[in-house]
Structure 1
Amino acid sequence: MSVVLTTSRAFSSCHAAQKILTDAGHQLKMLTPQKPLKADELIHQVKGVSAMLAGLDEINADVIRAASPTLKIIARNGVGYDKVDLNTAKENNIRVTITPGANSLSVCELAFSFITGLSRRIHLMDKSVREKSWQRVSGIELHGKTIGILGTGAIGRHLAIRCQSFGMRVLAYDLFPSQELIEKYGVEYITDLNVIYSQADFLSLHLPANNETRHMINQSTIAKMKKGAFIINTARGELIDDDALYIALKQGYLGGAGLDAFVAEPFLDERFFELENVILTPHTGAFTKEAADKTLIIAAEEIVRALSGKENLFQIN
């Protein structure tokens, strides 16, 4: 009997995903940590397991070697895999899979919530009512505004469609433009990021973190943006230089920011806690019941495929 280690809290309540694995004859070893596990925490849990259904845990070379030779697959219940050492996994013949598209709608809806929330300063007015000061704060309409969407994969695509329906002009950057977005929704693809920076009232990030994108939002790029523009990040914290963003928010050059992804989590940079033009959420873009169930079911199915010797649908290494 193969042992499957699960580290997602949501897995404990997803009976459909559990059933997929147990019906296939696998034994479950369920962990329910309050936050993603660090490598030194995982090392003691992986010995003897055949598969991992993992969240945003740190699965480095030491963890993978500790799990070898029994580990056959690391199934991420999400699309990000920067916390997984792909090279070491490949060297040890361990498959790594993701769950593309399963949580894209939920992440998109959070990004759009940041846009509407920041445009009307909802967080400030909620605070004023609770403090009995009854202070109305003037906001802006979205109709006629321009949004720049960097990355039009599943999440960016959903966001473009919703912004267009609100009467926004949608500028987009992607190495592989979507003809559907162009022809059906009037999305304008721009190859020069500087054009998007200079014209966007809102900038929403939906790119992976790599050498090319790390700190792409920095002092120089922020200076090219409109005064009063807003930045939304539901992708990866590495995309933004926090020091440059803080200064721009503190000085009022940027209108605000909605941040759901951070380099270090939990996010402990108290400078941002004092700012009234930023909304912070604890990497919760995919944290809906619907998204959690879909990602866990797909990840469980990938584990069953791997442990039965079949090809995986979403293997990345």
Structure 2
Amino acid sequence: MVKVLVTPRSFGKHSDEAKELLEAKGIEVVINPYGRILTEEEMKKEIVDVDGIIVGVDPLNADILSHAKNLKAISKYGVGTDNIDLNYCKEHSIEVSITRNANSDSVADFAFTLMLSVARRVVEVDRACRQLDWGKKTSMEMFRKTLGVVGTGAIGKGVIKRAKGFEMDILAYDLYKDEAFAKEYGVKYVELDELIQKSDFISLHLPATEETHDMIGPREFGMMKDTAVLVNTARGELVDEDALFDALKNKKIWGAGLDVFKKEPPENMGLLELDNIIIGAHSGASTFEAVNNMSRMAAENILKNLLS
């Protein structure tokens, strides 16, 4: 019997459709037995005899993959493949797929939610009210401000579409420009430095690569407006967290909203003590709709690559 390991904890959480798709094809589905992200040693143990893996952010480096004797396909539950050794997979004819656009709307919603919440100090106001402090806290508007979108893939474009309802001026940075989209939505592509200097709100939507590692660091924070809001719903590796802490603590920028960190929880625990940051638990894609979409697409991808 063909065996598939499923590691994401939210897989099929709100619907049996995805699991039933696999079982209808005679596939044995092995659900993550640990109830959390697997360690390297646990992954080595679990993948020994599987034919396919539906994987979240669990590690799949070359050392781990070398323990898989029957592995033919990996279906990423999401789009970021930085936890998978793609070179090893290519060399060993292991098909790798992603659930492209399955959670784009959910993450775009969350990015916009973070921008609004940081600007209007929503969490601070809520926390004060729970302590019976009804004092007013001055905040900032988003309407007709300048938004800088770093990365114009599906999620970045989703943020741009939402921003048009706020009549925002939109700057964008991407090595691969979509000029037709930019023309339709009034987006101006600029260099990253210009975007950082001119934007009131900056939203990051790039993968983690050698080139993007710590791309927002001391230099970039030094160029931002003191009223700037930084939001990251992409990858924690994009932001130098110590530089972020310094910028927030010393009021070099207005605030930040982060749904991702290099490690969860972050190594710089001082971030958790600041009032001008809103922290998410990598939950931008955690909606009923996105979970169902990703589960179904991940199952369809693994079926296509295992049975075709």
In 2: Cα distance, 1:12 partner to 1:111 partner: 24
Please state how far the C-alpha of 1:255 moved relative to its aligned partner: 0.4
SS state at 1:157 partner: helix
Residue identity in the other structure for 1:26: I
| Range moving further from structure 2, 130-139 or 249-258 | 130-139
> Alpha-carbon deviation of 1:183?
2.4
SS at match of 1:66: coil
Q: Which residue of 2 aligns with 1:6?
A: 6
**1:133 aligns to what SS in structure 2?**
coil
* 1:171 corresponds to: 171
2:147–2:202 Cα contact (<8 Å) kept: yes
After superposing the two structures, state which structure 1 stretch, 76-85 or 5-14, moved more.
5-14
* Offset at residue 33 of structure 1 (A): 4.2
Q: Give yes or no for contact 2:12–2:18 (8 Å, CA) kept in 1.
A: no
Secondary structure of 1:17's counterpart equals: helix
Report the AA paired with residue 146 of structure 1. T
1:313 paired residue number: none
Identity %: 39
- Secondary structure, counterpart of 2:67 in structure 1: helix
Q: Deviations over 1:110-167 (max 9, x none)?
A: 1000011011100000001111111221111111210100001000001001112111
- Please name the residue that 1:153 is paired with: 153
Query: Residues 11 and 80 of structure 1: is their aligned pair in 2 closer, same or farther, counting only changes over 3 Å?
Result: same
- Which moves more between the two structures, 118-127 or 39-48? 39-48
Structure 1's unaligned 5+ residue stretches are: 311-317
Contact 1:197/1:224, CA 8 A, preserved across alignment = yes
Specify the code of the residue in structure 2 equivalent to 1:166.
F
* Match of residue 207 from structure 2: 208
Give the 5 Å matches for 1:119-158. Answer: 119-158=119-158
Instruction: Output one character per residue of 1:27-62: Cα deviation in whole Å (capped at 9) or x when no partner.
Output: 111115443222112111111111001111111112
Q: CA deviation at 1:253?
A: 0.7
| Superposed displacement of residue 12, structure 1 | 4.4
Q: How far off is 1:92 after superposition?
A: 2.1
Contact 1:203–1:231 under 8 Å retained in 2: yes
Check if 1:31 corresponds to 2:32.
yes
Aligned length: 307
Q: Secondary structure at the match of 2:11?
A: helix
Aligned equivalents of 2:53, 2:83: Cα separation in 1: 14
Give how far 1:292 is off.
1.0
- Contact preservation (8 Å) 1:2, 1:25: yes
Kindly state the Cα deviation for residue 222 of structure 1 after the two structures are TM-superposed.
Answer: 1.1
Query: Which ranges of structure 2 fall in alignment gaps of 5 or more residues?
Result: none
After superposing on structure 2, the runs of 4+ consecutive aligned residues of structure 1 that deviate more than 3 Å are 32-35
Partner Cα distance (1:265, 1:50) in 2: 30
Q: Distance in 1 between matches of 2:261 and 2:3?
A: 32
The one-letter code of the counterpart of 2:74 is I
- Which residue of structure 1 lines up, in the alignment, with residue 104 of structure 2? 104
- The residue identity in structure 2 corresponding to 1:41 is E
Q: Displacement of 1:90 after TM fit?
A: 1.9
**TM-score in terms of structure 2 length:** 0.96
Equivalent residue runs for 1:190-209 within 5 Å: 190=190, 192-209=191-208
Asked if residue 218 in structure 1 is aligned to residue 249 in structure 2, the reply is no
Residue 124 of structure 1 aligns with an amino acid whose one-letter code is E
The aligned amino acid for 1:50 is D
The 2-side partners of 1:156 and 1:79 are apart by 14
Aligned to 1:75: 75
SS in 1 for 2:10: helix
Q: What RMSD, in angstroms, separates the aligned Cα atoms of the two structures?
A: 1.3
Q: CA-to-partner distance for each residue in 1:226-276, whole Å, 9 max, x for gaps?
A: 112111000011111111111010000110000011111233532001100
